[in-house]
A and B are shown apart, each in its own frame.
Chain A
Amino acid sequence: MDKKHCVKLSVQPSRALVDEKFIVLVQNAPPGFQMTIHSLHHSEDGHSWEAFGHYTADATGTVNVSQDHSVGGTYSGVEPMGLLWSLRPVPGSKSWLRFRKMNVETPMEVAISVYQGHQTVFVDQVQLASVVAERWYMAPGVRRIPVTESDLTATLFLPPGPGPFPGVLDLWGGAGQLVEYRSALLASHGFASLALDYLTPKITLKTGKMVKDDYFETAYKFLQQHPKVSGCRIAMMGLSYSTSITLKMAIYSEVMKLSCAVCTSGSHVQPVNGSVEDIFKMFHSNSEKARFTEEKQAIYRDLLLPIPTDPGMKLDVGRLQCPLLLIVGEDDQNWAAPEFAQDIKEMMEQAGNSHLLTLLSYPNTGHLIEPPYLPHARASRFKSVGSNEMLVVLWGGDTVAHSRAQEDAWRKTLAFLRENLYSRKNSIAPVREI
């Protein structure tokens, strides 16, 4: 039986944004044919990642990954995007890797292939068919503009079109660097997004001094004054470390008038008048509270616990005047984000502004809640800014639940931003299915 001619594989769409779904379809296989559908990606840093599912063709010789059950592999059940979110380093890879695409101008290329039978090792296997899917961070027409004025180290991503667009100030966590992929995606959804490096910007590398609050206010003003940005529709987004900064700016800054804020996996516990450096020092002064797993992975969630009662050590979220989307993973092993979120909620209820709060709390989900359909790292090598030590840090999360949380949280984040930045109406604006 000429099997090779029978099997036809397609991925639709073959070029998509990173947060868009695809449909993987195998046709013309013999009915009842057992096959493995496999994905392979070579990342920028030279590692290989793979995922696979075990399927059986139906009576018409078809397997549709969006509708059929995988009975084994790196994911099981009906998982349309399992071939992406369950990607993991191939056997023999260095351990504790984390997937991060730093060059957002090129797509992530994923080879999707079909193998005969239910395989688990692919090195010497012959493929029946193979296609390539491109996953893009930037939609066509999105412009990437490096920003260095006013001593900022940032990248602005502008959507295509005349504008003006609502703006987002986009900050990441404790590893520093200029991380662009979320901003690139936000611009692909119509937001002028400024990815800001605040831990390792050129000014800090040059002077050895960490930035102060005015750095963030400068970034805000840059956005506000930009001809393509609607100055009165600016949001701020933080994850982990930068949640602290985002909350602080949202509550206390005289300069920044945010339309809304999104805070993921973070905390309101910090010296109220403290700078970025003070927040860092606070962590380091509690470092003896770090615990380690048997595999020597560092658990940092206890560092800021117990939640202080001293009001000088907690941002006064009762004074917040803009909508806040708070996203936490209940299995966060790096920050006690669920406990902080609970405290924030209570403070806001007491102050009477809890109608501004939307809290998304995801079971079995870890610290790194990122855009969807990308590999999950339960633990990875991490070097915090200001430290010389490369450790393996436990982030938490069980891959299936964490991946579902990322998909849900991202969709809700986009809807939240749309509602608060695109429309002043109270009703939720219609959102296109992604």
Chain B
Amino acid sequence: MPYTDPPILSVYPSRALVDEAFKVLVENLPPGCPVTVHSLHLSEDDNYWEAYGHYISDHRGSVSVSEDVSFGGTYTGKEPMGLLWSLRPVPGSRQGLRLRKMNVCTPMLVNISVHCGHLVEAFRDQTPLASVLTERWYMAPGVKRIDIRERGMRGTLFIPPGPGPFPGLLDLWGGGGGLLEHRAALLASHGFVSLALEYLTSGEIPTARLDYNYFEKAFNIIQDHPLVTPDRVGIFGLSLGSFVTFNLAAKSTIINPRCCVCISGFHCHPYRSMGEMIQTNLNKLHVDENNYQIWRDMSLPIPSDISKKVDMGKIKCPLLLVCGHDDQSYPAVELAEDIAQMVHAAGKDHLLTKVFYHGTGHMIEPPYSPHFRATTFMAKTKPKVILLWGGQTKPHSDAQEDSWKKILAFLQHHLYSTPNPRAKM
């Protein structure tokens, strides 16, 4: 049997932060050889996710995922990171899955392999020509993780390595509840002391009225930390977390965030709970062809009565709003424009930056995270509800990559570089 030279597959860097790019290179193939480069990940909840691209080697027998074009697969075109952002549950998986790493102390392991020919299925049944493992970390070396259980708080604090002091961030997720650490861990890897705060129990319908004292206390905990510069603490929110952030930024007399980042936020929520919101607007709750719930119309029309909204004219610090035009759970862009009008009317345009992305849904996460167009929400309560978040994979992934760069630059500018903001106003 003729012995063919084995191909050489490499991923550089083999260990990286989740928001860092890598280069996948295949060498020593025959020239003009069709191959499939495949990625596989086994999630913490035991589901397999995969992505793949179809390539053809050049005259030297090389394929460079960063430089070459994918002709088919879960992504096409020149996509250096397609093997990560286009990951999706393997055929036969349950519906509505979401990929989320809960244990951020260990890396996400992704198996990258190269197969002969252009395959579209049954990768696990084929022996690849070569495969390597790459590690994707949420925590940079030296970042410390500390459980916070004081003053009634439940959260996790992440501290960058070094003598400090550092600026701080309060990190708030959405109505799905639970304690999500991955973004705070990543922010600490970029030099911010970050507190991931749990304020709703996972899986339950947010029924409790939000208690703003809880958030103010959490903010104080960050400020009081010996490694934090107390007047350089900001807030980072997504979805319901953005709603909380808007309230704190506009109304709190106790805390003064230095700046805020709000993704996919809403500032109108004149209900005591999400349950009440749904009950009141049942006629506007639609489902799509898969029976996934579309909530966005329940928030329309946006009331003009200011008493039903957070008075965004009252914000005192810079605010970055990030939203997707294809958000199916909230009319995020319309809401953001309404916010902009209120800010403008108060003469505070200079505080607001809006970034909107086409083809992008509600769940705008750190880059290279797989896009999920619809996932299970509030799984513990009634018959499982699957919410449509929206977005098309390619533009949504581009938005995640671009928005993260803008978010980090915004935070770097306001929390690291600028002198006392009061001097600016």
Contacts and interface: CB of A to CB of B under 8 A. Distances in A.
Contact of B140 (A16, A131, A164, A165): A131
Interface in A122-158: 126-134, 136, 139-141
B416 A28 contact: yes
Contact of A422 (B5, B131, B417): B5
Contacts of B9: 161
Contacts of A94: none
B25 interface: yes
Contacts of B383: none
A14 B141 CA distance: 7
Interface of B: 3, 5-6, 8-10, 12-17, 20, 25, 27-28, 60, 62, 109, 111, 113, 127-135, 137, 140-142, 160-165, 167, 191, 229, 232, 412, 416-417, 419
A429 B17 contact: no
A187 B21 CA distance: 24
B416 A8 contact: yes
A129 B162 contact: yes
B162 A127 contact: yes
A190 B416 CA distance: 43
Nearest to B416: A5
Contacts of A133: 141
A430 B62 contact: yes
Given A28-B416, A131-B140, A4 B16 contact: no
Nearest to B166: A5
A290 interface: no
A127 B141 contact: no
Interface of A: 2, 4-6, 8-9, 13-17, 20, 28, 109, 111, 113, 126-134, 136, 139-141, 159-166, 188, 190, 230, 232, 418, 422-425, 429-430, 432
B416 A162 contact: no
26 contacts: A4-B164, A4-B165, A5-B167, A5-B416, A13-B13, A15-B16, A16-B15, A111-B161, A113-B162, A130-B142, A131-B160, A132-B141, A132-B161, A139-B14, A140-B109, A141-B133, A160-B131, A160-B133, A161-B130, A162-B130, A166-B6, A423-B28, A429-B8, A430-B62, A432-B12, A432-B25
Contacts of A128: 163
Nearest to B20: A13
Given A133-B141, A432-B12, A162 B28 contact: no
Contacts, number: 117
Nearest to A13: B13
Contacts of A113: 162
A48 B27 CA distance: 40
A140 B134 contact: yes
Contact of A130 (B134, B162, B412): B162
Nearest to A165: B6
Nearest to A22: B13
A2 B419 CA distance: 9
B135 A140 contact: yes
A15 B13 contact: yes
A202 B60 CA distance: 47
B15 A422 contact: no
A159 B132 CA distance: 8
A188 B116 CA distance: 23
Given A8-B191, A13-B20, A17-B14, A161 B132 contact: yes
A397 B102 CA distance: 50
A28 B417 contact: yes
B14 A140 contact: yes
B133 A429 contact: no
Contact of B60 (A129, A141, A430): A430
A423 B14 contact: no
Count chain A CB atoms within 10 A of each CB in B3, B162, B229, B416 and give the residue with the most: B162
B8 A190 contact: yes
Contacts of B137: 15
A429 B141 contact: no
Contacts of B164: 4
A163 B6 CA distance: 8
Contact of A429 (B27, B113, B129, B162): B27
B117 to A, nearest CB: 16
Contacts of A111: 142, 161
A165 B3 CA distance: 12
Nearest to B191: A8
Given A139-B132, A232-B3, 20 more contacts: A4-B164, A5-B229, A5-B417, A13-B13, A15-B16, A127-B163, A128-B163, A130-B162, A131-B160, A134-B141, A140-B14, A140-B15, A140-B133, A161-B131, A162-B129, A165-B6, A230-B6, A423-B5, A432-B25, A432-B27
Contacts of B416: 5-6, 8, 28
A103 B8 CA distance: 27
Nearest to A17: B14
A166 B6 CA distance: 9
Contacts of A20: 13
A15 B62 CA distance: 26
Given A424-B5, A429-B28, A432-B25, A161 B165 contact: no
Best-buried of A20, A109, A140, A188 by chain B (most CB within 10 Å):
A140
A27 to B, nearest CB: 9
Nearest to A139: B14
B127 A162 contact: yes
Contacts of B28: 422-423, 429
Contacts of A188: 14
Nearest to A128: B163
B15 A15 contact: yes
Nearest to A423: B5
B225 to A, nearest CB: 15
A303 B390 CA distance: 77
Nearest to B27: A430
A395 B114 CA distance: 45
Contacts of B162: 9, 113, 127, 129-131
A13 B16 contact: yes
Given A131-B162, A429-B28, A162 B140 contact: no
A15 B3 contact: no
Q: Can you list the 7 inter-chain pairs with the closest CB atoms, starting with the nearest?
A: A141-B133, A132-B142, A15-B15, A132-B141, A130-B162, A140-B133, A161-B131
Nearest to B25: A432
A228 to B, nearest CB: 12
Given A5-B229, A14-B17, A109 B141 contact: yes
A9 B163 CA distance: 12
Contact of A131 (B60, B132, B161): B161
Contacts of B8: 190, 418, 422, 429
Nearest to B162: A130
A19 to B, nearest CB: 12
Contacts of A141: 111, 132-133
Nearest to A1: B419
A162 B128 contact: yes
B6 A422 contact: yes
A131 B232 CA distance: 21
Contacts of B128: 161-162
A109 B412 CA distance: 27
Contacts of A127: 162-163
A16 B17 CA distance: 12
Nearest to A126: B163
